[in-house]
Amino acid sequence: MKTEQELKDIVRTKYGEIAEQNVEDNAASCCGSGGCSTEVYNIMTDDYSGIKGYQADADLSLGCGLPTQFAQIKPGDTVIDLGSGAGNDCFVARHETGPTGKVIGIDFTAAMLNKARINADKLGFNNVEFREGDIEDMPVADNLADVVVSNCVLNLVPNKKTVVKDIYRVLKPGGHFSISDIVLVGELPLELKNDAEMYAGCVSGAIQKDDYLGFIADAGFENITLQKQKDILIPDDILSKYFDAEKLEQFKSGSTGIFSVTVFAQKPGINSSKPKVNVADVEACVPGGGCC
């Protein structure tokens, strides 16, 4: 069993390697935005190209959803993006919050931060900044953000419960988050659960869906809503690195489900008296969100 620090080092190293690729190499790479499936990093990405504010140079196809599409960002909002990478979701959020708002991206990979800052400079955005830090203990003041977004990052953090508590800390009363992430229903085989590539690729670090939603409710959030859910199917050419033909078919026909979910939740306002949402009731999603 790897320690929390060893798991973080795996993620930092792998995503640093991805960030160092130039756009052309990344487009042709199986751990970037290419179409091959011999790596797990790019098999779950959604298409951002039709989203306003999208910047192709900042899109490394490492996400598993479109959280900014669901985040209800308003002009003038302060937005924090957890695990901001090359800046993709920050620039989409900046389009929504406009020049009167502020966007803060947080990442712990130096090469990603460098890439994001270069992209922001090219775009001339003076209200988008990128801070180096751990999202378990964000370099951000209490009660700062109107909105928090994140795209396929919490599954990479060993202590997810701590991250959820820190999201609560940095949100203003009445603020909310919209986060896309990977969750499980059923247990992964040990061959996948113990593999470093599967961890850095967002699969083996995922936790049970009910536990994930439970952490959010336990932190004190209300109005918890499943905005979108989609199945994640790992291609055979990836699975064949871990299983022989018989085990591969057993896994594919088994009861384990891997899902990308986009979850909304709100920090209670100053005068709020609404009860916490029962996690068992969080099954309905937003019409048109792709899970109804």
What are the structural domains of the chain? 4-281 (3.40.50.150)
pLDDT tens column, 270-280: 655 444 444 44
CA distance 16 to 2: 20
Return the percent helix, strand and coil in the chain, to nearest 5: 35, 20, 45
Query: Rounded mean pLDDT of 82-107?
Result: 96
Residue 235 or 112, more confident: 112
Residue found under tokens 């830090």: 133
pLDDT tens column, 100-148: 999 999 999 999 999 999 999 999 999 999 999 999 999 999 999 999 9
Sorted by sequence, the CB contacts under 8 Å of residue 268 that are 6+ apart come out as 173, 174, 220, 221, 222, 274
Are the C-beta atoms of residues 225 and 283 closer than 8 Å to each other?
no
pLDDT bin (cut points 50, 70, 90) of residue 175 is very high
User: Is the model's pTM score more than 0.75?
Assistant: yes
Parallel, antiparallel, or unpaired for β 257-266 and 171-185?
Answer: antiparallel
Query: Where do runs of H (alpha helix) occur along 41-98?
Result: 67-70, 88-97
Are the C-beta atoms of residues 92 and 67 closer than 8 Å to each other?
no
Residue found under tokens 């896994």: 251
Q: Inter-axis angle of helices 110-123 and 4-20, to 10 degrees?
A: 40
Chain-centre distance of CA 159, in angstroms? Answer: 15
Chain-centre distance of CA 184, in angstroms? Answer: 15
Per-residue buried b or exposed e for 224-254, using 16+ beta carbons within 10 Å of the residue's own CB: bbbbbbbebebeeebbeebbeeeeeeebeee
pLDDT over threshold 90, residue 193 = no
CA distance 136 to 201: 19
Sorted by sequence, the CB contacts under 8 Å of residue 4 that are 6+ apart come out as 158, 159
Query: Rounded mean pLDDT of 218-224?
Result: 97
Provide the pLDDT for residue 39: 53
pLDDT bin (cut points 50, 70, 90) of residue 241 is confident
